[in-house]
Amino acid sequence: MILAVDIGNTNITLGAFVDGKKIFSARLAADRDRTADQYAVEIKMISDIYKAPGLEGASVSSVVPELTPAVTRALDKLGAKRVTVLGPGVRSGLNIKTDDPAQLGADLVAAAVGALAKYEAPCFIADLGTATKISVLDANGAFLGCSIAAGVGISLRALSQNTSQLPALGADEPRQVIGTNTYTSMQSGVVLGTAAMLDGMFDRMAEEFGSQPRSIVATGGWSANIYKYCRHEVIYDPDLILDGLLRIYEKNI
Protein backbone atom coordinates (compact mmCIF):
# COMPACT_ATOMS: atom_id res chain seq x y z
CA MET A 1 0.00 0.00 0.00
CA ILE A 2 1.14 3.51 -0.85
CA LEU A 3 -0.22 6.24 1.40
CA ALA A 4 -0.73 9.79 0.10
CA VAL A 5 -0.71 12.31 2.95
CA ASP A 6 -1.77 15.95 2.52
CA ILE A 7 -1.00 17.98 5.67
CA GLY A 8 -3.13 21.11 5.77
CA ASN A 9 -3.73 23.77 8.38
CA THR A 10 -7.03 22.22 9.50
CA ASN A 11 -6.94 18.58 8.41
CA ILE A 12 -4.52 15.85 7.39
CA THR A 13 -6.03 13.97 4.46
CA LEU A 14 -4.99 10.37 3.82
CA GLY A 15 -5.45 8.35 0.66
CA ALA A 16 -4.37 4.69 0.45
CA PHE A 17 -3.58 3.14 -2.94
CA VAL A 18 -2.93 -0.43 -4.03
CA ASP A 19 -1.81 -0.96 -7.64
CA GLY A 20 -2.81 2.62 -8.42
CA LYS A 21 -6.38 2.26 -7.13
CA LYS A 22 -7.63 4.09 -4.07
CA ILE A 23 -8.86 1.73 -1.36
CA PHE A 24 -9.77 4.34 1.24
CA SER A 25 -9.46 7.99 2.18
CA ALA A 26 -9.74 9.58 5.62
CA ARG A 27 -9.15 12.81 7.51
CA LEU A 28 -7.34 13.50 10.76
CA ALA A 29 -7.28 16.75 12.72
CA ALA A 30 -4.07 18.69 12.10
CA ASP A 31 -3.05 18.91 15.76
CA ARG A 32 0.40 20.40 16.32
CA ASP A 33 0.54 18.90 19.84
CA ARG A 34 0.25 15.27 18.75
CA THR A 35 3.36 13.13 18.73
CA ALA A 36 4.63 10.77 16.06
CA ASP A 37 3.38 7.84 18.16
CA GLN A 38 -0.12 9.30 18.33
CA TYR A 39 -0.27 9.84 14.59
CA ALA A 40 1.07 6.33 14.01
CA VAL A 41 -1.68 4.86 16.19
CA GLU A 42 -4.41 6.81 14.37
CA ILE A 43 -3.14 5.91 10.89
CA LYS A 44 -2.78 2.25 11.92
CA MET A 45 -6.32 2.16 13.34
CA ILE A 46 -7.79 3.68 10.19
CA SER A 47 -5.85 1.24 7.99
CA ASP A 48 -7.10 -1.67 10.09
CA ILE A 49 -10.71 -0.49 9.77
CA TYR A 50 -10.40 -0.74 5.98
CA LYS A 51 -8.39 -4.00 6.20
CA ALA A 52 -5.61 -2.34 4.20
CA PRO A 53 -2.39 -4.23 3.44
CA GLY A 54 0.97 -3.28 4.92
CA LEU A 55 2.46 0.14 4.25
CA GLU A 56 5.17 0.11 1.57
CA GLY A 57 5.73 3.82 1.03
CA ALA A 58 4.22 7.26 1.39
CA SER A 59 4.06 10.57 -0.46
CA VAL A 60 3.61 13.67 1.67
CA SER A 61 2.68 17.27 0.92
CA SER A 62 2.60 19.78 3.75
CA VAL A 63 1.83 23.45 4.27
CA VAL A 64 2.49 23.10 8.01
CA PRO A 65 6.25 22.59 8.41
CA GLU A 66 6.06 22.04 12.17
CA LEU A 67 3.77 19.03 11.64
CA THR A 68 5.80 17.35 8.91
CA PRO A 69 8.45 15.67 11.15
CA ALA A 70 5.86 14.04 13.44
CA VAL A 71 3.85 12.67 10.51
CA THR A 72 6.89 11.39 8.61
CA ARG A 73 8.23 9.69 11.77
CA ALA A 74 4.82 8.08 12.22
CA LEU A 75 5.02 6.69 8.69
CA ASP A 76 8.51 5.34 9.43
CA LYS A 77 7.18 3.63 12.57
CA LEU A 78 4.47 1.98 10.46
CA GLY A 79 7.09 0.41 8.21
CA ALA A 80 7.20 2.71 5.19
CA LYS A 81 10.35 1.86 3.22
CA ARG A 82 10.26 5.17 1.34
CA VAL A 83 8.68 8.47 2.36
CA THR A 84 8.72 11.20 -0.29
CA VAL A 85 8.12 14.70 1.11
CA LEU A 86 7.22 17.05 -1.73
CA GLY A 87 9.62 19.99 -1.91
CA PRO A 88 12.78 21.19 -3.66
CA GLY A 89 14.72 18.27 -5.12
CA VAL A 90 11.66 16.05 -5.53
CA ARG A 91 10.68 15.37 -9.14
CA SER A 92 7.11 16.44 -9.86
CA GLY A 93 7.29 16.90 -13.64
CA LEU A 94 5.50 20.24 -13.25
CA ASN A 95 6.85 23.28 -15.11
CA ILE A 96 6.42 26.13 -12.60
CA LYS A 97 6.55 29.63 -14.09
CA THR A 98 6.04 31.70 -10.94
CA ASP A 99 8.53 34.30 -9.69
CA ASP A 100 10.04 31.84 -7.20
CA PRO A 101 9.05 28.20 -7.89
CA ALA A 102 10.52 27.08 -4.56
CA GLN A 103 7.86 29.10 -2.72
CA LEU A 104 4.90 27.34 -4.37
CA GLY A 105 2.87 25.37 -1.84
CA ALA A 106 3.25 21.60 -1.99
CA ASP A 107 -0.53 21.15 -2.07
CA LEU A 108 -0.79 23.35 -5.17
CA VAL A 109 1.95 21.35 -6.89
CA ALA A 110 0.25 18.04 -6.08
CA ALA A 111 -3.16 19.32 -7.23
CA ALA A 112 -1.66 20.52 -10.52
CA VAL A 113 0.07 17.18 -11.14
CA GLY A 114 -3.19 15.36 -10.43
CA ALA A 115 -5.18 17.66 -12.72
CA LEU A 116 -2.77 17.33 -15.63
CA ALA A 117 -3.00 13.54 -15.40
CA LYS A 118 -6.81 13.53 -15.49
CA TYR A 119 -8.13 16.63 -17.25
CA GLU A 120 -7.59 18.76 -20.32
CA ALA A 121 -5.43 21.87 -20.19
CA PRO A 122 -5.67 24.85 -20.00
CA CYS A 123 -7.09 24.13 -16.57
CA PHE A 124 -8.22 26.16 -13.58
CA ILE A 125 -8.06 24.45 -10.18
CA ALA A 126 -10.12 25.75 -7.25
CA ASP A 127 -8.87 24.35 -3.93
CA LEU A 128 -11.34 25.25 -1.17
CA GLY A 129 -9.64 24.45 2.12
CA THR A 130 -8.52 26.69 4.96
CA ALA A 131 -7.73 29.16 2.17
CA THR A 132 -9.52 29.43 -1.17
CA LYS A 133 -6.91 29.04 -3.91
CA ILE A 134 -7.35 29.13 -7.69
CA SER A 135 -4.46 27.92 -9.84
CA VAL A 136 -3.96 28.38 -13.58
CA LEU A 137 -2.32 25.80 -15.86
CA ASP A 138 -1.69 26.73 -19.48
CA ALA A 139 -2.22 24.59 -22.58
CA ASN A 140 1.21 23.01 -22.14
CA GLY A 141 0.58 22.16 -18.51
CA ALA A 142 2.80 24.89 -17.05
CA PHE A 143 1.79 26.37 -13.70
CA LEU A 144 1.38 30.11 -14.33
CA GLY A 145 0.23 31.31 -10.90
CA CYS A 146 -2.72 31.46 -8.57
CA SER A 147 -4.92 33.60 -6.33
CA ILE A 148 -5.36 33.09 -2.58
CA ALA A 149 -8.26 34.32 -0.43
CA ALA A 150 -9.64 33.53 3.01
CA GLY A 151 -11.42 30.20 3.03
CA VAL A 152 -15.06 29.38 3.76
CA GLY A 153 -14.31 28.17 7.30
CA ILE A 154 -12.41 31.34 8.12
CA SER A 155 -15.31 33.45 6.85
CA LEU A 156 -17.83 31.48 8.91
CA ARG A 157 -15.76 31.83 12.10
CA ALA A 158 -15.15 35.52 11.50
CA LEU A 159 -18.87 36.19 11.14
CA SER A 160 -19.81 34.24 14.26
CA GLN A 161 -16.97 35.36 16.52
CA ASN A 162 -16.78 39.03 15.60
CA THR A 163 -20.47 39.88 15.43
CA SER A 164 -22.42 39.47 18.66
CA GLN A 165 -25.84 39.06 17.06
CA LEU A 166 -24.92 36.57 14.34
CA PRO A 167 -25.17 32.83 15.10
CA ALA A 168 -22.65 30.10 14.31
CA LEU A 169 -23.50 28.10 11.21
CA GLY A 170 -22.10 25.59 8.79
CA ALA A 171 -22.00 25.79 5.01
CA ASP A 172 -25.49 24.36 4.58
CA GLU A 173 -27.24 24.47 1.22
CA PRO A 174 -28.92 27.88 0.79
CA ARG A 175 -32.46 27.89 -0.52
CA GLN A 176 -32.43 31.48 -1.69
CA VAL A 177 -30.10 34.35 -2.52
CA ILE A 178 -32.18 36.93 -0.67
CA GLY A 179 -32.17 35.71 2.92
CA THR A 180 -35.29 36.34 4.96
CA ASN A 181 -33.71 35.77 8.38
CA THR A 182 -30.24 36.01 9.87
CA TYR A 183 -29.39 32.36 9.28
CA THR A 184 -30.46 32.18 5.62
CA SER A 185 -28.84 35.54 4.94
CA MET A 186 -25.50 34.22 6.24
CA GLN A 187 -25.92 31.03 4.21
CA SER A 188 -26.42 33.08 1.08
CA GLY A 189 -23.48 35.35 1.76
CA VAL A 190 -21.00 32.60 2.55
CA VAL A 191 -22.01 29.82 0.14
CA LEU A 192 -23.43 31.72 -2.82
CA GLY A 193 -21.00 34.59 -2.24
CA THR A 194 -18.07 32.20 -2.50
CA ALA A 195 -19.51 30.62 -5.65
CA ALA A 196 -19.98 34.06 -7.19
CA MET A 197 -16.41 34.99 -6.26
CA LEU A 198 -15.13 31.83 -7.98
CA ASP A 199 -17.17 32.58 -11.10
CA GLY A 200 -15.86 36.14 -11.17
CA MET A 201 -12.26 35.03 -10.69
CA PHE A 202 -12.59 32.39 -13.43
CA ASP A 203 -13.77 35.10 -15.82
CA ARG A 204 -11.04 37.56 -14.84
CA MET A 205 -8.34 34.88 -15.06
CA ALA A 206 -9.53 33.78 -18.49
CA GLU A 207 -9.49 37.41 -19.66
CA GLU A 208 -5.95 37.96 -18.35
CA PHE A 209 -4.77 34.56 -19.55
CA GLY A 210 -6.24 35.20 -22.99
CA SER A 211 -8.07 31.90 -23.30
CA GLN A 212 -10.95 29.99 -21.78
CA PRO A 213 -9.98 26.88 -19.80
CA ARG A 214 -10.75 23.44 -21.20
CA SER A 215 -11.50 22.25 -17.67
CA ILE A 216 -12.24 23.72 -14.24
CA VAL A 217 -11.73 21.42 -11.27
CA ALA A 218 -12.75 21.93 -7.63
CA THR A 219 -11.14 20.12 -4.71
CA GLY A 220 -10.60 20.67 -0.98
CA GLY A 221 -12.76 20.20 2.08
CA TRP A 222 -15.31 22.94 1.31
CA SER A 223 -15.59 22.35 -2.42
CA ALA A 224 -18.52 19.91 -2.17
CA ASN A 225 -20.61 22.67 -0.55
CA ILE A 226 -19.75 25.32 -3.13
CA TYR A 227 -19.00 24.02 -6.62
CA LYS A 228 -22.59 23.13 -7.53
CA TYR A 229 -23.60 26.81 -7.20
CA CYS A 230 -21.01 28.05 -9.69
CA ARG A 231 -22.35 29.10 -13.08
CA HIS A 232 -19.30 27.71 -14.82
CA GLU A 233 -19.11 23.98 -15.44
CA VAL A 234 -16.95 22.71 -12.59
CA ILE A 235 -15.70 19.15 -12.07
CA TYR A 236 -15.72 18.06 -8.43
CA ASP A 237 -12.68 15.91 -7.58
CA PRO A 238 -12.08 15.45 -3.83
CA ASP A 239 -9.07 13.17 -4.48
CA LEU A 240 -7.15 15.49 -6.78
CA ILE A 241 -4.23 16.18 -4.41
CA LEU A 242 -4.02 12.53 -3.33
CA ASP A 243 -3.86 11.39 -6.96
CA GLY A 244 -1.14 13.93 -7.64
CA LEU A 245 0.87 12.74 -4.64
CA LEU A 246 0.68 9.16 -5.85
CA ARG A 247 1.98 10.16 -9.27
CA ILE A 248 4.81 12.18 -7.71
CA TYR A 249 5.75 9.18 -5.58
CA GLU A 250 5.93 7.03 -8.70
CA LYS A 251 8.15 9.58 -10.44
CA ASN A 252 10.67 9.38 -7.58
CA ILE A 253 11.01 5.62 -7.15
CA count, 13 A, side-chain hemisphere, 171: 24
Whether residue 216 has pLDDT greater than 70:
yes
> Same fold for the domain at 2-85 and the one at 101-244?
yes
Question: d(Cα 105, Cα 41) in Å, to the nearest integer?
Answer: 28
User: What does the pLDDT read at residue 171?
Assistant: 58
| Under 8 Å between Cβ of 216 and 226 | no
Q: Break the chain into its structural domains and give their ranges.
A: 2-85, 101-244
Average pLDDT, the chain: 93
**Is 107 an annotated catalytic residue?**
yes
Give the lowest-confidence range in 38-47, 56-65, 115-124, 186-195: 186-195
To the nearest 5 percent, what fractions of the chain are helix, strand and coil?
Answer: 40, 25, 35
In 3-state terms, what secondary structure has residue 27? strand
pLDDT tens-digit profile of 140-160? 999 999 999 999 888 877 776
**Dihedral pair phi/psi, residue 149, rounded to 5°:** -135, 165
- CATH fold of 101-244: Nucleotidyltransferase; domain 5 (3.30.420)
Catalytic-labelled residue, pool 107, 237, 239, 243: 107
- CATH fold of 2-85: Nucleotidyltransferase; domain 5 (3.30.420)
